[in-house]
Amino acid sequence: MDTILREETTELEASAKLASDTATAGDAIDSANNASDAIDATALECANNTGDAAPVAYEPIENRWEVERDGRRFILVGTAHVSEKSIADVRQTLNEFDASAVVVELDADRYKTLTQGNDWSKLTISSILKQKKGMMLLASLALGAYQRRINPDMPTPGLEMKEAAIIANERDIPLILGDRAIDLTLKRIWRCSSLVERAKMLGVLFTIMFDDTKMDEEDLEHMLNDEGGLDKMIKELAEVLPRAGHVLLDERNQYLATNIYFAPGDTVVAIVGAAHVPGIMNCLEALAADQTAYETKESKAREELKEISHLPEKAKWTKLLPWIVPAVVCIMLGIGISRGVSQGISILSSWALVNAIGAGLGAILALAHPLTILVSAIAAPFTSLVPTIGVGFIAGALESTLRKPRIQDFEQIQEDSKSLKAMYKNRFIHALIVFFLSSLGSSIGTFIGLPILVKLAG
């Protein structure tokens, strides 16, 4: 499951529109270019030695698959988004084949972020939290940092996609952004997941913030080429988070495969994360097996994509869920008061104490400003009864006001997200951590407090 997270975190990072460090990224691309140039130079030297115009002798690429269907050739390059070797594989493949189209595992927003970057200074903590994007942004930063810690030598994950796009544009090859919008994918994951799965996802997010795993190029290549390794990891993901795994992998495999199969021309080169390759191959086989006319087949396939291109509607009863906790508290309080004012006060004070301690400890763990800690503890008992606002919103907004992010905080977001210590020092990231941990503490307090109330009222 960890490896799948490593493959997917580039997409999560781009959904938060992280700024690309193009100057440093150029070094990584140059190293890949040098590797490819070395191959070409070796082949040219061999040709000069023999006196013949011999074709370039390319080294075989282990993590590349070719399939011919319906008179067309599809070349899939499976990559690790933090591997410089993957950049070289992309360049060699596009030099080796006369591609009629290049499909990359990107959507429009990720492509723009990867090629142009973004201005973080336009964002404010309050606006992010009001749009309910705080958790997604923090997850993107944490997962992206985790990926960069895996391979510190890779300045920006996903450079193999950027390299493919650069080459396609330079050679006027049609470039297809073949993936579904990552924002939609993340929303579908959350919407389709059960409460237990959501709790597991938050647990994974909390864990990777403290993870210091590192991998070198040899480890990454072993991960890509180990027979059955990726299949096993995908199965592990599906077992731990079945609905999230289906949305993250199966649905996107279908999306990518459709855009690959119906890309123009007879030689389509696709650059995708290695974890997607088996699923995409199965989808390509299914499309090829359909014997209907090409136009009919494409129309049918595009209609099927519409089914996974929108958020599923919430069941009507789920709208009542946010009000269950307030209702239970009020009922228990009413029962307590009916048995005596002192018992009612005991129930109310127990509820307030548990929530205050949970939110306060979360804020303390986040090293929040003392005033933020105090306000979080005071507000938590009330916000836990009001579904329209959470204590995390109050804590995060207050922290960003008391410790207003500086220009250097925005400029250093990518660099500071590489270590937990630097994340705490960066005021922008720190405010998000305060938001997350105070929210988590209050939620824990709520789940601990409900049984206590039931016992006191019983």
User: Does 216 map to a domain?
Assistant: yes
Least Cα distance to 84 among 37, 40, 33 occurs for 33
User: Does 80 map to a domain?
Assistant: yes
Domain that holds residue 337: 316-457
pLDDT of residue 118: 62
The pTM assigned to this predicted structure is 0.67
DSSP 371-440: HHHHHHHHHHHHHTT-TT--HHHHHHHHHHHHTPPPHHHHHTHHHHTTSHHHHHHSHHHHHHHHHHHHHH
In angstroms, the CA 421 to CA 274 distance is 32
Assigned token pair, 52 = 């013949």
Q: Both 249 and 188 in a single domain? A: yes
Q: Both 237 and 378 in a single domain? A: no
Q: Both 172 and 295 in a single domain? A: yes
In angstroms, the CA 164 to CA 102 distance is 7
Residue entry with tokens 């690790």: 80
* Sheet with strand 267-273: strands edge to edge: 64-69, 72-79, 267-273, 101-104, 175-177
In angstroms, the CA 187 to CA 179 distance is 15
Residue entry with tokens 């990584």: 28
DSSP 31-96: HHHHHHHHHHHHHHHHHHHHTS-PPP-PPP-TTEEEEEETTEEEEEEEE-TT-HHHHHHHHHHHHH
Q: Which residue, 306, 329, 345, sits at the end of a domain?
A: 306
In angstroms, the CA 126 to CA 446 distance is 24
Cβ pair 400, 427 in contact under 8 A: yes
User: Does 133 map to a domain?
Assistant: no
User: Does 121 map to a domain?
Assistant: no
pLDDT of residue 419: 73
Burial code (b: 16+ CB inside 10 Å, e: under 16) for 267-302 equals bbbbbbbbbbbbbbbebbeebbeeeeeeeebeeebe
Sign of CA dihedral 37, 41, 47, 53: positive
Q: Which residue, 287, 306, 325, sits at the end of a domain?
A: 306
pLDDT of residue 230: 46
Q: Both 359 and 383 in a single domain? A: yes
Least Cα distance to 280 among 268, 297, 291 occurs for 268
Least Cα distance to 420 among 121, 186, 219, 206 occurs for 206
Q: Both 54 and 177 in a single domain? A: yes
Structurally, the chain folds into a number of domains equal to: 2
Q: Which stretches of the chain drop beneath a pLDDT of 50?
A: 1-54, 226-231
Residue 411 CA: distances (Å) to CA of 12, 18, 20, 245, 258: 20, 11, 11, 34, 38
User: Does 23 map to a domain?
Assistant: yes
User: Does 161 map to a domain?
Assistant: yes
User: Does 130 map to a domain?
Assistant: no
* 3-state SS, residue 47: helix
Least Cα distance to 438 among 208, 135, 187 occurs for 135
pLDDT tens-digit series, residues 243-255: 888 898 899 999 9
Least Cα distance to 7 among 273, 202, 216 occurs for 273
Q: Both 256 and 332 in a single domain? A: no
Residue 232 CA: distances (Å) to CA of 83, 223, 369: 21, 11, 45
- Cross-strand bridge partners of residue 25: none
Q: Both 271 and 370 in a single domain? A: no
Residues 6 or more apart whose CB falls under 8 angstroms from that of 416 comprise 409, 422, 423, 425, 426, 429
pLDDT tens-digit series, residues 153-166: 555 667 889 999 99
Residues 6 or more apart whose CB falls under 8 angstroms from that of 315 comprise none
Residues 6 or more apart whose CB falls under 8 angstroms from that of 108 comprise 177, 181
Q: Both 237 and 302 in a single domain? A: yes
Q: Both 328 and 300 in a single domain? A: no
Q: Both 295 and 377 in a single domain? A: no
Q: Both 221 and 342 in a single domain? A: no
In angstroms, the CA 259 to CA 263 distance is 6
Q: Which residue, 257, 274, 306, sits at the end of a domain?
A: 306
User: Does 144 map to a domain?
Assistant: no
Q: What share of the chain is helix, strand, coil (3-state, %, to 5)?
A: 70, 5, 25
Helices 182-192 and 108-116: crossing angle, nearest 10°?
A: 130
Q: Both 220 and 366 in a single domain? A: no
